[in-house]
Amino acid sequence: MYELSGKKWTSHFQGSNSTKTLSPTFESNVNAFLQSLKNAGARITISATQRPPERAYLMHWSWKIARALINPDDVPKKTGVNIEWCHKNSDGKVDRNKSIQAAKDMVKEYGMTSLNVAPALKSRHTEGNAIDMNISWIGNLELKIRRGKQCLSIAFQLMV
């Protein structure tokens, strides 16, 4: 059974902010880097790691419909995502305005109103090879990063 598009869809297919959902090699490298940051006194807030392809689909097509770049009835179906992009009038005809408004509601809820390009259907996030994070520190930040047998020391200074 298909369900009409709208804000409620943004809670489906939640992404992750855990490094455990990353691809194995990338996870190992990220965890080593995060540990170096923590050892240097940095605070890290991870906002996103892996994004399910279903979520990428919803984000991509809601963005395109919201900007009237595609007709809602032209959006390809995706297995496992039972969304109906076309809202209809009482006479059964597609209500383009309602369909676009529902997509705009999704775009707003996803926090994508200022994006100038549609979110990718396939990306490093859907592959588990990306991380979005904020890093903060006070003063200088000196990282010790191991590269094979060599240990590099990198210093950062916040310039205001």
Reported as a single tens digit per residue, the pLDDT across 103-152 is 999 999 999 999 999 999 999 999 999 999 999 888 888 887 766 555 66
Do strands 132-136 and 150-157 pair parallel, antiparallel, or not at all (unpaired)? unpaired
- Residue 154 has what pLDDT? 61
Reported as a single tens digit per residue, the pLDDT across 28-50 is 999 999 998 999 899 999 999 99
- Judged on CB neighbours under 10 Å (0-12, 13-18, 19+), 119 is buried
- Residue 148 has what pLDDT? 59
CB-CB contact of 155 with 141 (8 Å): yes
Cα dihedral sign, 88-89-92-96: negative
Question: For residue 70, which phi and psi values (nearest 5 degrees)?
Answer: -150, 145
